[in-house]
Amino acid sequence: MKRTIIWFRKDFRLHDHPALWEAAKEGIVIPVYIWSDEEKLSYSKSEASFWWLYHSLASLDKGLQTHGLKLFIKDGDEFDALLEVMEEADAGAVYFNERYEPDERKKDSRIAAQLESIGKEVQTFHGHLLFTPDLLNKQGEPYKVFTSYWKRCMQEVVAQPFPVPEKMQGIDRELQTLPIDHIRTLAERPWNEKFHQYWEPGEQVAIGKWEQFSDDGIFYYGTERDLISSGSSSELSPYLAAGNISVKAIWYSAKRVYEETTEMTARQSINSFLKQLIWRDFAYHQLIHYPDIIRLPLRKQFAEFPWKGSNEQLTKWKVGQTGYPLVDAGMRELWETGVMHNRVRMVTASFLVKHLLIPWGKGYSWFEKTLLDFDTANNAMGWQWVTGCGIDCAPYFRIFNPFLQSEKFDPDGTYIRKWVPELSRLPVPYIHRPWEAPAKVLEDADIQIGVTYPPPIVDHAAARKRALLAYQEVKGK
């Protein structure tokens, strides 16, 4: 009977796993995860996702065990490790779902070529996105505008997701493997133990979360997703990033809900959720065609942008001590929970690059370290979008006003009160601008500006003017 290695990477699930589905149909399945030097380097930068990785592996192994299979863990060079398992298991084939990050793509092609050159079979599959990310427009070029990309996607058909294979046959001999705890000890950081209070990684939890959202939140998503404390987004991003849940499965399930819904606003809400999933695909479309997007601005003139901010200001931004309540709430939420609401990501990111004139790459790296849902494509697109240096992005001169954003999307200050507790006794409207509060209001709320809460790190009007002047320097280039 054919024996196939399934090389798991960011697809820690059993449902809609095209490589697993194909191999299970054909014979014996040998699931493998390789803790390679590249994985070590990558997760040393994205520490929060490392925590998620460990728990996803544990959950995947548990899921496999219910089908009589086991996850084999290897530490070392990926090609060597694959070869070692193939020899041990007497397997002739390796199947895996594609990755789209530039270095990973190159590595995967190299490994596939090496294996094929010694007579092994390699098959790769698309499992991480709705569409293959290499779609081109009529001129044979990548899409640069989201609406055109989205319209094109609407003409394509999303491949039907696969269920969990009904029958999976594992190998009937012991293979050498490391315990998952080999990774656990490394994944633990003093600050990430608290993630357990907020998250449980893994496939079953992801499916449960989706079912709950598609029963309720999805109907209000269009009107409420920007309201920071409404809890009306799906909170599925870390599960999608690690592949605990399939985006195609979500797509078809949301489409079914759409078909069963007659109310117009609810239908629009579902559509607006589906559109976000296409934004995720669009991020990968950009990453495939502009692999430098991780490091370099897509609008080249931004390479000469006169960035100014200091390390001291960067640190204050990271720890949520800027004196701007919404920004501080977001940065503290991120550190505590490993995620941040999308609206607040936009405001905090904009504040870093426009109010503080700190290069977006510094923000990218901090998000990479602290986000549980860190995703190279989404993070790069998000930062370039906010900075105004990407494709189809917010123009640089549109500068978010953090107070207005806060008044609009956290009107009663619930979010600020939660994450900046020293301001919790301030009434509206001062919760959004504490330093404008009369002395008596501050005293009643037990606040001393400069002692219990910092004054604004920069003056909004002056920072805005400075940002626009800086933009003038590169605008025409």
Ligand X SMILES: Cc1cc2nc3c(=O)[nH]c(=O)nc-3n(C[C@H](O)[C@H](O)[C@H](O)COP(=O)(O)OP(=O)(O)OC[C@H]3O[C@@H](n4cnc5c(N)ncnc54)[C@H](O)[C@@H]3O)c2cc1C
Query: C-beta of 56: minimal distance to ligand X in Å?
Result: 15
Beta bridge partner(s), residue 205? none
Q: What does the block give as tokens for 191? A: 């600050």
Query: C-beta of 98: minimal distance to ligand X in Å?
Result: 18
Nearer to ligand X (CB atom), residue 36 or residue 379: 379
- For residue 158, what are the contacts with CB-CB under 8 A and spacing of at least 6? 130, 131, 248, 251, 252
Where do contacts with ligand X occur on this chain (CB under 6 A)? Answer: 225, 233-237, 240-241, 276-277, 279-280, 283, 342, 345-346, 349, 367, 371, 373-375, 378-379, 382-383, 386
Query: C-beta of 236: minimal distance to ligand X in Å?
Result: 4
Query: C-beta of 338: minimal distance to ligand X in Å?
Result: 11
Nearer to ligand X (CB atom), residue 266 or residue 386: 386
Nearer to ligand X (CB atom), residue 88 or residue 104: 104
Nearer to ligand X (CB atom), residue 192 or residue 237: 237
Nearer to ligand X (CB atom), residue 309 or residue 434: 309
Query: C-beta of 152: minimal distance to ligand X in Å?
Result: 17
Nearer to ligand X (CB atom), residue 55 or residue 74: 55
Write the burial class of residue 330 (CB in 10 Å: 0-12 exposed, 13-18 middle, 19+ buried).
buried
* Cis preceding-peptide flag for 429 (omega within 30 of 0): yes
Query: C-beta of 325: minimal distance to ligand X in Å?
Result: 19
Query: C-beta of 282: minimal distance to ligand X in Å?
Result: 7
Nearer to ligand X (CB atom), residue 175 or residue 394: 394
* Closest residue to ligand X, based on beta-carbon distance: 382
